């Protein structure tokens, strides 16, 4: 699955940095779990060291590859927006985890009005209020790539066409998806359901 490592992969792709994208089969995970810092994925391996926690990995790569803010305030605002994405993922996690189809539909129906629509609306308004086509400042940042990922996934996998009523978000997703390095990554990455 793309999972929580995808924003980091997008950062690498955007920056044109080659990386090894090692994905773990479910059957392999029990044997590998104890070799990770906290028994979780993703893990970034750099010069024989390991860094865990997806959002920490993203911030580390952003700073290293010039995708964090121009100042501390911008970086903090980027972190704030990514934390909002994280909160959203936690709220919709029960839907992803549910295996029984009837319960899955019931959970999804309750999430539409209470969680999903408010989340989309809030981010549409944030994009409009910044007025630059990006979420913080006037150039692409790691926050934009994390936000792009969730809305691309939503618009193509969870709720196809869900952004039609949100023209600025749809324009944003299309713009990021058509950046040469991002477009190339999307075309070549493994095809997954999630």
Within a domain: residue 194? no
Within a domain: residue 102? yes
Q: Indicate if 60 and 97 belong to the same structural domain.
A: no
Name residue 46's beta-bridge partners: 49
CA dist., res. 66 & res. 45, Å (int): 19
CA dist., res. 149 & res. 181, Å (int): 14
**Residue 108 CB: number of other CB atoms within 10 A?**
16
Q: Indicate if 139 and 85 belong to the same structural domain.
A: yes
Task: Please tell me the total count of domains within the chain.
Answer: 2
Per-residue pLDDT tens digits of the chain, which is 194 residues long: 678 899 999 999 999 999 999 998 889 999 999 999 998 999 999 999 999 999 999 999 999 999 999 999 999 999 999 999 999 999 998 988 888 989 988 998 999 999 999 999 999 999 999 999 999 999 999 999 999 999 999 998 888 888 999 999 999 999 999 999 999 999 999 887 65
Query: What's the predicted TM-score (pTM) here?
Result: 0.93
Q: Indicate if 160 and 95 belong to the same structural domain.
A: yes
Give the structural domain span for 33.
3-65+183-188
> 58-65: which pairs have CB atoms within 8 A and are 24 or more residues apart?
58/7, 58/8, 58/11, 58/82, 58/142, 58/146, 59/142, 61/8, 61/11, 61/12, 61/15, 61/142, 62/11, 62/141, 62/142, 65/11, 65/12, 65/15, 65/17
| Cβ within 8 Å of residue 109, ≥6 positions away | none
Look up residue 191 and give its DSSP letter.
P
CA dist., res. 57 & res. 55, Å (int): 5
Within a domain: residue 193? no
Q: Indicate if 39 and 111 belong to the same structural domain.
A: no
H or E element at residue 151: helix 142-153
Q: Indicate if 149 and 111 belong to the same structural domain.
A: yes
């Amino acid at each position: 699955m793309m999972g929580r490592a995808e924003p980091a992969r997008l950062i690498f792709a955007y920056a044109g940095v080659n990386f090894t994208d090692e994905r773990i089969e479910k059957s392999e995970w029990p044997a590998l779990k104890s070799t990770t810092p906290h028994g979780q994925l993703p893990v970034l391996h750099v010069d024989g060291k390991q860094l865990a926690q997806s959002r920490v990995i993203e911030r580390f790569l952003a700073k290293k590859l010039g995708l964090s803010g121009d100042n501390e305030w911008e970086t903090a605002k980027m972190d704030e927006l990514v934390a909002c994405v994280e909160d959203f993922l936690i709220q919709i996690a029960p839907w992803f985890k549910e295996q029984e189809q009837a319960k899955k539909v019931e959970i999804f129906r309750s999430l539409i009005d209470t969680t999903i629509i408010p989340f989309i609306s809030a981010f549409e308004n944030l994009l409009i209020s910044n007025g630059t086509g990006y979420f913080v400042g006037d150039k692409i940042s790691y926050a934009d790539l994390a936000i792009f990922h969730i809305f691309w996934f939503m618009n193509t996998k969870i709720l196809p066409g869900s952004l039609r009523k949100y023209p600025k978000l749809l324009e944003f997703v299309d713009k990021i998806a058509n950046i040469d390095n991002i477009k190339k990554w999307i075309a070549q990455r493994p095809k997954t359901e999630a």
